């Protein structure tokens, strides 16, 4: 039978002090809500999101998100977690198992979620965890080992506050039971809210045994209420990813100084130095090495390629044995064939560079189709923009572009052409010939004296 997940995401997130709804704050580059929906949907749940504060913004994000669109309901007034769950229940058949998840608990361990799904068909199951400092959480009340209730921090006695088994908020029960129990929940408590946690005592009163699943990782079920907890969730997520990568054979110089905000596919013996940030979808072939403090976004590098320190690469597909950096910048729609080398302060945008082409220093190669074995010397600029439109530069195989030359696009340089240093090229430079365009007439003035200081 299909089961459902109700994701609570209506709260204001006051402590974030942010214009952005809390559940859209990111962990590993993805909104927290995306993590929760991803986990729930991949376990087969039909999702319902309860929105409130920032509902429109979250809805707009949901519409452009990939994957199945969850149902959404708006809880106009945040009257408590029981009231929130109640908003989503009318759309769910009584016999369907339901999980209650929180939009701000993004890193639920897969095995904890699986255990919750497993037990959702009957009774009531809570995910709990023991914390050294349980302050702020609902405490699990037990008698002879059996759960008989949950008491919230604000309503707890000193004795109850000493209980260190807490309610993570994640729970599971059939929809019919939730409907029945929630209808009986009252708001006569310290906060004047309809507490979902009150359903525990109601279930017990019906003689139903309340089961618990202990979360396998306490840190992972800690909700995100403020920016400190958001940063902690980020570190936990990054640690998980880094460990998985290292187990698969990637060498990270320091797993605590590595950030993956997307998807990384790797070959064998890949080495990634400290401070590297990977975003989007990145593919690194065998023996690729990434130098310190580089950023790679949607990049694919062939076997044996190397990125030296402080390079920023986006939207690049490169072949094998390329050498990029230090201090290189590559912008989207760039394609390098094998053995391309670009060095310090070289920027490439929409550049196709042929096999073994080199631009060692200080160049701008934009909107350019460059052949194989081309040498682009220091200070070369493709002038691709006329103030209104972009134009293309085409450079043939084996051409040599001398230092400090400007290629004013649209322009084409033939195979084997040689452009003399300091030329401003505005017309086709024929193949295998020297083109030169400099101010003529360098003079040496006989008897000239250096000015002296007065």
Please list the active-site residues: 361
Token readout for 395 is 């450079």
Least CB distance from residue 9 to ligand UD1, whole Å?
6
CB under 6 A: which stretch of 5-13, 61-69, 411-419, 430-438 binds ligand UD1?
A: 5-13
CA distance 64 to 61: 5
H helix intervals, 287-388 = none
* Alpha carbons within 13 A on the beta-carbon side of 1: 16
Contact present, 291 and 313 (Cβ < 8 Å): no
**By C-beta, is 102 or 258 nearer to ligand UD1?**
102
Decide whether 31 or 223 has the Cβ nearer to Mg ion. 223
DSSP type of residue 216: S
197 is a contact residue toward ligand UD1 (CB under 6 A): yes
Give the one residue of 83, 297, 323, 329 binding ligand UD1; rule: CB under 6 A: 83
Minimum separation from the CB atom of position 232 to ligand UD1 (A): 14
Peptide bond into 410 cis (omega under 30): yes
CA proximity to 407, closest of 387, 393, 421: 393
From the list 79-87, 111-119, 253-261, 372-380, the region that binds ligand UD1 by CB under 6 A is: 79-87
- The answer to whether 195 and 152 are in contact (CB under 8 A) is yes
> Would you count residue 48 as binding ligand UD1 (CB under 6 A)?
no
Choose the binding region for Mg ion from 37-45, 118-126, 221-229, 270-278 (rule: CB under 5 A): 221-229
Q: From residue 267 to residue 296, what is the string marking binding to ligand UD1 with x (rule CB under 6 A)?
A: ------------------------------
With helix as H, strand as E and coil as C, how does 283-329 read?
A: EECCCCEECCCCEEEEEEECCCCEECCCCEEEEEEECCCCEECCCCE
Compute how many other C-beta atoms are within 10 angstroms of the C-beta atom of residue 334. Answer: 24
State the binding string over 327-346 for Mg ion (x if CB under 5 A, else -).
Answer: --------------------
Longest C-alpha distance within the chain, in Å? 111
User: Shortest Cβ distance from residue 12 to Mg ion (Å)?
Assistant: 11
Distance CA 406, CA 383 (A): 6
Tell me which residues touch Mg ion (CB under 5 A). Answer: 223
Tell me which residues touch ligand UD1 (CB under 6 A). Answer: 8-11, 50, 52, 75, 78-81, 83-84, 102-104, 137-138, 150, 152, 166-169, 195-197, 223
């Amino acid at each position: 039978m299909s089961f459902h997940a109700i994701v609570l995401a209506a709260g204001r997130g006051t402590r974030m002090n942010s214009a952005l709804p809390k559940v859209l704050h990111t962990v590993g580059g993805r909104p927290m809500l995306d993590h929760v929906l991803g986990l729930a949907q991949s376990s087969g749940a039909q999702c319902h999101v309860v929105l409130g504060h920032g509902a429109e913004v979250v809805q707009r994000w949901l519409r452009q998100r990939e994957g199945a669109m969850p149902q959404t309901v708006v809880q106009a007034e945040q009257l408590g977690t029981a009231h929130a769950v109640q908003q989503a229940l009318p759309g769910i058949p009584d016999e369907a198992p339901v999980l209650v998840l929180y939009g701000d608990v993004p890193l639920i361990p897969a095995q904890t979620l699986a255990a919750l799904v497993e037990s959702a068909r009957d009774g009531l199951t809570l995910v709990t965890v023991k914390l050294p400092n349980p302050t702020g959480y609902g405490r699990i009340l037990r008698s002879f080992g059996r759960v008989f209730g949950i008491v919230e921090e604000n309503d707890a006695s000193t004795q109850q506050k000493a209980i260190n088994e807490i309610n993570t908020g994640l729970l599971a029960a059939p929809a019919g039971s939730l409907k029945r129990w929630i209808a009986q929940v009252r708001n006569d408590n310290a906060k004047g809210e309809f507490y979902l946690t009150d359903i525990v005592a109601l279930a017990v009163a019906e003689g139903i045994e309340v089961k618990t699943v202990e979360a396998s990782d306490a840190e992972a079920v800690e909700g995100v209420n403020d920016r400190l907890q958001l940063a902690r969730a980020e570190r936990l997520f990054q640690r998980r990813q880094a460990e998985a990568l290292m187990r698969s054979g990637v060498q990270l110089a320091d797993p605590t100084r590595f950030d993956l905000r997307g998807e990384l596919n790797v070959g064998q013996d890949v080495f990634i130095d400290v401070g590297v940030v990977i975003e989007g979808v990145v593919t690194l072939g065998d023996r690729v090495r990434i130098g310190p403090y580089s950023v790679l976004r949607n990049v694919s590098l062939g076997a044996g390629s190397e990125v030296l320190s402080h390079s920023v690469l986006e939207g690049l597909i490169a072949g094998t044995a390329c050498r990029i950096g230090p201090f290189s910048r590559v912008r989207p729609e760039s394609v390098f064939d094998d053995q391309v080398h670009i060095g310090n302060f070289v920027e490439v945008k929409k550049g196709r560079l042929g096999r073994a082409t080199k631009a060692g220093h200080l160049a701008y190669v934009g909107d350019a189709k460059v052949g194989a074995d081309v040498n682009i010397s220091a200070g070369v600029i493709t002038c691709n923009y006329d103030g209104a439109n972009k134009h293309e530069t085409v450079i043939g195989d084996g051409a040599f572009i001398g230092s400090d030359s400007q290629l004013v696009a649209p322009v084409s340089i033939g195979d084997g052409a040689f452009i003399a240093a300091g030329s401003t090229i505005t017309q086709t430079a024929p193949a295998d010939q020297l083109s030169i365009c400099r101010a003529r007439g360098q003079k040496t003035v006989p008897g000239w004296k250096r000015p002296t200081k007065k």
